[in-house]
C-alpha cells in the first residue's frame, strides 16, 4: 500500500509525519490487498488564527476500481488523522462488504432454479 502525504499551508515534524502514516497503515492494514494507493492531504484551514481547523483528508484508490474520500477536522493533526483513519476503515469495510454481497446475489440469481430453462416434457 503506497501512502503519499501532501502538506497544505503547514509543516509537520518528522515524528508527526511518521505517526500519521503509521496510524493510517494500522487502520487500513487489513485491506492492503484491496488498496492501491492512499493520498493524504494535511492542512491548516485557518492558518495562524487557531481553532479547530487542522484537516486531514484521505483519498483511497481501491483495486480493481473505486475510490473512497474521507476528511475530518480536529484541533490537532494527530487527532484529525486518527479520526479520518477510523472513518476510512469503516467506509472501506462497508464498501467491500456491499461489493461482496452484490457478487453473491448475482451468483445466486444466475444459479437459481427459477432462472433455468424449463426442461422439455413430452406428453404421450
Q: What is the CATH number of the domain that holds 13?
A: 3.30.160.100
State pTM to two decimals.
0.77
As for how many domains the chain has, the answer is 1
Please report whether residue 38 resides in a domain. yes
Containing structural domain, residue 93: 2-112
Strand pairing of 35-44 and 2-8? parallel
Confidence band of 29 (pLDDT split at 50, 70, 90): very high
Q: Please say whether the beta carbons of 35 and 67 come within 8 A.
A: no
Give the pLDDT score at 65: 78
Please report whether residue 83 resides in a domain. yes
Q: Please say whether the beta carbons of 3 and 21 come within 8 A.
A: yes
CB under 8 A, 24+ apart: contacts of 18-25: 19/78, 19/81, 20/56, 20/77, 20/78, 20/81, 23/78, 23/81, 23/82, 23/85, 24/58, 24/81, 24/85, 24/88, 25/1
Please report whether residue 54 resides in a domain. yes
Please report whether residue 35 resides in a domain. yes
Q: 3-state class of 104 per DSSP? A: helix
Grid coordinates belonging to 35? 488498496
Please report whether residue 121 resides in a domain. no
Please report whether residue 103 resides in a domain. yes
Strand pairing of 67-74 and 54-62? antiparallel
- Tens of pLDDT, residues 41-63: 999 988 767 667 899 999 999 98
- Tens of pLDDT, residues 58-95: 999 998 778 999 999 998 999 999 999 999 999 999 99
| Gap between the Cα atoms of 108 and 118, Å rounded | 18
Amino acid at each position: 500500500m503506497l501512502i503519499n502525504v501532501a502538506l497544505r499551508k503547514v509543516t509537520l515534524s518528522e515524528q508527526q509525519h511518521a505517526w500519521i502514516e503509521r496510524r493510517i497503515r494500522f487502520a487500513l492494514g487489513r485491506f492492503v490487498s484491496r488498496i492501491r494507493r492512499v493520498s493524504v492531504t494535511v492542512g491548516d484551514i485557518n492558518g495562524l488564527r487557531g481553532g479547530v481547523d487542522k484537516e486531514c483528508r484521505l483519498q483511497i484508490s481501491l483495486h480493481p476500481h473505486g475510490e473512497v474520500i474521507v476528511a475530518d477536522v480536529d484541533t490537532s493533526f494527530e487527532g484529525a488523522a486518527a479520526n479520518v483513519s477510523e472513518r476510512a476503515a469503516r467506509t472501506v469495510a462497508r464498501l467491500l462488504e456491499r461489493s461482496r454481497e452484490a457478487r453473491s446475489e448475482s451468483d445466486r440469481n444466475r444459479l437459481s432454479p427459477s432462472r433455468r430453462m424449463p426442461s422439455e416434457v413430452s406428453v404421450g
